[in-house]
Homo-oligomer: A and B are copies of this chain.
Amino acid sequence: PYTVLICVVIVVLLTLGNLRGIRESSKAFGLPAYAFIFAIVSMLIAGFIKLKSGYVPPEAPVKHVDTGALSFFAMTYIMLNAFSNGCAAVTGIEAVSNAVPNFKKPAVKHAKMVMLLLAAFVILLFGGVSVLSYAFRAGHEEGKTVLIQIAQQIFGAGPMFYFVMASSFVILAMAANTAYSGFPLLLSVVAREGYAPRQLSMRGDRLSYSNGIILLSAAAILLIVVFRANVTSLIGLYAIGVFISFTLSQSGMFVRWLRNKGKHWRLKAFINGFGAFVTAVVVVIIAITKFRQGAWIVVFLVPILIFLMMKVKKHYTAVARQLRMAPEELETIDVEKDVYRNRVIVPVESVNKASIRALRYAKTISDNVVAFNVSIDEESAVKIREKYALLQTDIPLVVKYSPFRKVVEPLLKFIESAEYNYQKGDMITVILPQFSVRAWWHAILHNHTRLFIEKELLKHKHIVVSVMPLQLKNDDFVLKNQKHK
């Protein structure tokens, strides 16, 4: 019942760790791997000794089906299903190829050695567990993996049983981390090429691709919650994804040999071409047999993602084209000439330190400044006029009425009015204050009007919005200080 919660907690922990910039290569990751290998190898040895000493396992919980009675198609389906299940065992070898640049030199030689070791361990561990599971008659049992069933029979409920469980748990949680080392990096490359939102290519404070990490975690949590952390519903999603990437890389190598030729290129092209063919067949098999176990997500999502990526690329290309200027064009441009007529409007809610600061700044950037106030009625208009008159300034104050204290509409109306006399080529700067808050929750209390007004005004290409920061003092300090009484 807590599976979903536990999974989400693990994802959140991994997210935080990766945002802070942990590395997959860090040595801490080695220990659990050794522990896991040690646990499984011990189990295999103990298991075979137990079998030799004449142990007879209990009846299998699932009865053996009389396969002779099955039709040819059903048989084929079962075989293909078993094949696609088995294929999942070799996923992970791509991690070695991906990591080649990270190996010590000579990288290729080391990588080959690792690949061999990996293959040896897969055969030893996976093969050994397969043999044992047959010998111990482990079958499908609700809520109990084959590993648990075997370990239970071999070790009882002793400390070794819990060691096998714990090391499997840790290694699986860590396996989830491989996605964090690859996906955000991949996404950043895609984003840099213009096929994904550009912010995905930006590194965060600690140089991790924080947006990609957050996106990955959000997707993972969504899948966990929607599918209630049920592995069966998602195994297809995983397997098909892996084999699509195998197919793509094999095809890539195949094309490479065809293009580059080189020594033994026919043989090499044949090997990779055959690899591409086999993995492509696996993709199709998984797409069919595991369609309802998550493969449908990939079948539908991949075309949609490709479509979206094309749209994004098209948009970025269009933007770049609009902004681009040829060298010939650049030479004709004189930045000093054709400048805009520079006019400033300072919205003034009341005459206080913030508005005086804004007026002062306005004066430094232009001689054409207007202070602009929206009052709800005649009375408050008179009040602000009186207060404003106390200031020594030649900046005129314009007061407009709005019963609901709307600011944007009266301001835009004023700009378009004959009174303001807007001319083509005028650039209007509107100065808005921004409170720099001292406590995070103060952010809820400020700047919303500013953001709204800014958003509305920026829809007009002749209006520049200048945001002036205003630092707030500590509440208690102000309220105790005599100066502010």
Taking Cβ atoms with an 8 Å cutoff, the residues of A that contact B are 197-199, 202-203, 207, 312, 314-319, 321-325, 327, 330-331, 333-336, 338-342, 351-354, 356, 359-361, 363-366, 387, 390-395, 404-406, 427, 429, 434-436, 442, 444-445, 448-449, 454, 458-461, 463-476, 478-479, 484-485
Question: In the complex the two chains form, what is the Cα distance from A356 to B337 in whole Å?
Answer: 12
Residue among B333, B335, B435, B469 making CB contact with A464, cutoff 8 Å: B469
Given A198-B445, A312-B445, A323-B353; 6 other pairs, CB 8 A cutoff: A318-B474, A334-B391, A335-B363, A342-B364, A364-B427, A465-B466
Option from B442, B459, B469 in Cβ contact (under 8 Å) with A315: B442
| 9 tightest A-B CB contacts, nearest first | A335-B393, A323-B352, A365-B365, A318-B475, A330-B390, A321-B484, A342-B364, A334-B392, A318-B478
Residues in B whose Cβ lies below 8 Å from that of A405:
202
Q: What number of copies of this chain does the assembly contain? A: 2
User: Is A463 within 8 A of B458, CB to CB?
Assistant: no
The answer, among B339, B364, B484, for a CB contact under 8 Å with A363, is B339
Q: Are B361 and A427 in contact (CB under 8 A)?
A: yes
Contacts of A406 in B (CB 8 A): 203
- On chain B, the residues within 8 Å of A354 by CB distance are 323
Q: Are A470 and B465 in touch, CB under 8 angstroms?
A: no
Partner of A352, one of B325, B340, B468, B476: B325
For A198, the chain B residues whose CB sits under 8 A away are: 445, 448-449
A466: chain B residues at CB < 8 Å are 429, 464-467
The residue in chain B whose Cβ has the minimal distance to the Cβ of A485 is B321
A selection of 17 A-B contacts at a CB cut-off of 8 Å is A197-B445, A312-B445, A314-B475, A321-B478, A323-B352, A325-B352, A325-B356, A333-B391, A334-B391, A334-B392, A334-B393, A342-B365, A361-B464, A365-B365, A464-B466, A466-B466, A466-B467
Asked if A364 and B340 sit within 8 Å, CB to CB, the answer is yes
Q: How far does the Cβ of A405 sit from chain B's closest Cβ, in whole Å?
A: 8
Q: A127 to B456, alpha carbons, bound, how many Å?
A: 56
Q: Point out the residue from B464, B467, B472 that lies within 8 Å of A319, measured CB to CB.
A: B472
Contact between B331 and A390 (Cβ–Cβ < 8 Å)? yes
Q: In the docked arrangement, what's the CA distance between A469 and B135, Å?
A: 73
Chain B hits for A342, CB < 8 A:
364-365
Q: When the two chains form their complex, are residues B322 and A353 in contact, meaning their CB atoms are under 8 A apart? A: yes
Question: A445 contacts B339, CB within 8 Å?
Answer: no
Q: Which of these, B199, B366, B394, B448, contacts A449 with CB under 8 Å?
A: B199
A330 to chain B, nearest CB (A): 4
A188 to B315, CA, bound (A): 42
Residues in chain B near residue A434, CB distance under 8 A = 458
Question: Do A336 and B464 have beta carbons less than 8 Å apart?
Answer: no
CA distance in complex: A458, B436 (Å): 7
- Whether the pair B339, A325 counts as a contact (CB closer than 8 A) is no
A478: which B residues are within 8 A, CB to CB?
318, 321-322
Q: How far is the CA of A284 from the CA of B442 in the complex (A)?
A: 35
What residue in chain B is nearest A355 (Cβ atoms)?
Answer: B323
Q: How far is the CA of A464 from the CA of B431 in the complex (A)?
A: 9
Closest-CB distance, A385 to chain B (whole angstroms): 13
**Cβ of A464: which chain B residues have Cβ within 8 Å of it?**
361, 466-469
A342-B365, A445-B197, A449-B199 known; A469 vs B475 contact (CB < 8 Å): no
A314 CB contacts on chain B under 8 angstroms? 475, 479
How many angstroms from the CA of A394 to the CA of B359 in the assembled complex? 29
- Give CA–CA (A336, B393) in the complex, Å: 6
Residue among B356, B463, B472 making CB contact with A335, cutoff 8 Å: B356
Q: A479 — nearest CB in chain B belongs to which residue?
A: B318
Q: Assess whether A330 is in contact with B315, with CB atoms less than 8 Å apart.
A: no
User: Chain B residue with minimal CB distance to A312?
Assistant: B445
